[in-house]
Each structure stands twice: as C-alpha cells, then as structure tokens.
Amino acid sequence: MWNVAFAELRKLRRPTLFFGTMGAVVFFSALFSSLLFILIDSPQGNSDRGRMVGREVLGLATGGVQGFTSVGGFLGIIALCVFAAQTAQEYTYGTLRNLLVRQPGRLRILLGKFVAMKLFALVMIVLSAVVSVSASVILAPGAKVNTDLWFGSDGRHAMFTSFINITISVIGFGTIGMVLGLLLRSPISAISLGVLWLLIVENLLIAVKNSWQNWLPGSQLSAIASGGTASGPVSGSIEYSHALLVGGIYVAIGAAIASFLFVRRDVAN
C-alpha cells in the first residue's frame, strides 16, 4: 500500500498539477478572507450569499478563522476535482493494467491512492489556513476590527476546531470525487458531474424546497466545514452532528459501492 502511495505522490507533485492547484488555493483563500474586511461596511454584505459579518463578529475569538471557514467549501470542490481526475485517468490512459502487474491487490492500490491524495489535500488545507489567517491579520487594523481575542486560548481552540472541520469536509468531498472517478472512469465526466451537482443542481433544489438542504450531500459537507451553517433565508441552520451523520452516510455508501465495482469490474475503460 505504501509503495502505491509514494508512487501516487510522485504524480501529484507534477509542477502543472501541484503549483496550479496550490496557486488557486492561495488566490481564493486570500480573496475570500480579504473581502470580509474590505467590504465590511458594504450594504450588499461581505460574505457568501450576501450575509453581513460585522466588526463585533470578526472581533470574537472565531474572527481570525472566519475567512478560512468561508473558503472551506471551495477547497472541497478542488479536492473533488483532483481526486476524481487522478482516479479516473488510470482508466483513460490504460495505466491501471500496469499497476496491477506490480500490485495485484486492487484494494491496496485503491487505499494507497487514497492515502496519497489525502496528504495532497492536507497540504492544500494547511496552505489555505496560513494564507487566510495572514490576510485577516493584515487587513483587520484597516477595517477597525479588534484582534485581541484571535490568538488567546479560545482563538487557538477556534483555529484547531476549524482546521479539523475543514479537513473532514475536504476529505469527504475528495472521497466523493474518487467515487465518481471509479464509477464513470472518465476524468471529464466525473469532474463535470460533481461540479454541476454541487454548484447548480443542489442550489436549484434548495431554491425549490429549502428543507432539502438538510439532506443533500454537498450541503452536509459544507456545513461540516463551517461547524454548522445557515441553511437558507427561511430556516435556521444545519446542526453539525446532523451534517456529520448524513454526510458520513453518503460518503460511506458511495465508497463501499465504488470499492466493490473497482474489485469486480474489468480494468478497461
């Protein structure tokens, strides 16, 4: 398994993939965090869906990670795309047969690839956290936000909790991407379907019936990233425990089905 993981890491550190992905992480982490402070007095809002995050909220112990939390869902989409592409391209390029010659255990291959991609996702999350918190610290004085509580005991606890929540969420999104890659066996199809569902279909379904957000997979994983999130203009919020349970069920069932098919199906695309 570890040999497979090391081999997968060699693929993931290709400059075009690694620096392109990390560049996107840096850009959007800085952008999301900066807008919280630059637009703090804007009547159109300074957070997602036009929400207002005022100075009182940003001045709390959780204020330092507010931007990091906001970008959590976007990190999940990046992870989904990377996991889906790296899994499905083994079928597209026909390299899975070569891997099975060296390592006949299919589940070992699958587990090794998953471990490598989790490490890649962890690097993304750490980089995003550093950029988001740094941008918040730099811009807070100009926005007249008090940062005294950010690095106290409560602030450090908020950073640790946010990091764990976003890690769980990103790994969940990535696992769904890997499942799509195994099911569809085409990088373009897997990425397109995943992004289309998360960014368009789920939002349309929620617009039709707001309560559906309590049961859709993308909403649950996004809620985990924020530790429980507003579910719409009418209802209150998705409870963290509910999001963790429902999101975990989606991921577990999808992973079980994809693993079974990976073991039983022919390796040809």
**Per-residue confidence band for 262, with pLDDT thresholds at 50, 70 and 90:** confident
CA distance 115 to 175: 11
Q: Is 269 contained in some domain?
A: no
So what's the pLDDT on residue 236? Answer: 47
**For residue 228, pLDDT beyond 80:** no
If we measure between CA atoms, which residue out of 184, 169, 177 comes closest to residue 125? 169
**For residue 99, pLDDT beyond 50:** yes
**For residue 61, pLDDT beyond 80:** yes
Q: Is 138 contained in some domain?
A: yes
Neighbours of 15 (CB within 10 A): 7
- Of 49-63, 94-108, 180-194, the range with the lowest mean pLDDT is 94-108
**For residue 114, pLDDT beyond 50:** yes
So what's the pLDDT on residue 2? Answer: 76
Q: Is 211 contained in some domain?
A: yes
Instruction: Count the domains in the chain.
Output: 1
Q: Is 247 contained in some domain?
A: yes
**Per-residue confidence band for 49, with pLDDT thresholds at 50, 70 and 90:** low
Q: What is the pTM of this model?
A: 0.88
For the four alpha carbons of 240, 30, 77 and 157, in that order, the dihedral sign comes to negative
Domain residues for 72? 2-264
pLDDT digits (tens, 9 = 90+) for 186-199: 899 999 999 999 98
pLDDT digits (tens, 9 = 90+) for 65-84: 998 998 988 999 999 999 99
**Per-residue confidence band for 103, with pLDDT thresholds at 50, 70 and 90:** confident
Chain centroid to Cα 242, Å, comes to 18
**Per-residue confidence band for 232, with pLDDT thresholds at 50, 70 and 90:** very low
So what's the pLDDT on residue 234? Answer: 35
CA distance 39 to 41: 5
In this structure, the chain runs to a length of 269
